Structure 1
Amino acid sequence: MIRIQNKYLKEAAEFLQNNLLLKGKQNIHRMRLVNAMLAYNAKIAEEELTLIKEYAEKNDDGEIIKSESDGVLISDINAFNQEYKDLLEEFYILNNPNLEEAILTIADSLSNYEESLSGKEAEMHYYLYNAFNGEISGFNEEVTSNE
């Protein structure tokens, strides 16, 4: 089982896809996980859109009012921000018996990763290493403190 916060799903999938040099069966395992993560991330994007529609200001015809910068005017920005934050801080939990071998393969690849990393890539490797090894608690305090 792996746990990844929704706000890191896309970045995590991109790291796995772009930074791990794998081939054959290992690559297949990686792509199964990446595809599962990206599919769930698409659902999160739909939920974000639903929140925007719920909190957007609407005209008399019920249509969303756009701001001058082509954004959306939000009627209760504090409530919207809290709902949005809550959505992004929820965890995607991948606990699929069909992907168990893939999870073990990627956990091993992350443990044995020997390339130099810095910045966001180093943070994502750290996050994924902990996620794939069941030690995800504490990441928010350590890594997101610069947000």
Structure 2
Amino acid sequence: MKYWLFKSEPSTWSWDDQVAKGDAGEEWDGVRNYQARNFMRDMAVGDRGFFYHSQSEKAVVGIVEVIAEAHPDSTTDDDRWDCVDIKAVGPVNTPVTLAMVKEDPRLSDMALIRNSRLSVQPVTADEWRIVCEMAGVDP
């Protein structure tokens, strides 16, 4: 299993929107960055991810699961763009803010800090465990 972080502006697609989709989940569409697209192409069904609210909140607010591997993004006719489908697994007990991540030296190499603009990012197994502990959820 691999781990990821999915960033979304809550005014565009929020954790509540994701939860409302239930087990059917939703496409993680609209990504127009080659590196983020390539990360999605590396995902497998069952991979887990952090759902991160960007903009003002800047925090991990939930856990998601990949439920469909990369396929053409339905929001464009341009065949360069793929997406995966994800479903909500559950909220975190304590949102983990960007400030909290930056303050923890064990997370100093996390993509969230190093490449903050990337909307889909890999998370190492150690980073996953640490952030889950900070969030009060079982890794």
Give the alignment's TM-score, normalised by structure 1: 0.23
Over alpha carbons, which structure has the higher Rg? 1
Which structure has more RCO (C-alpha within 8 Å, separation ≥ 6)?
1
More strand by share: 2
More helix by share: 1
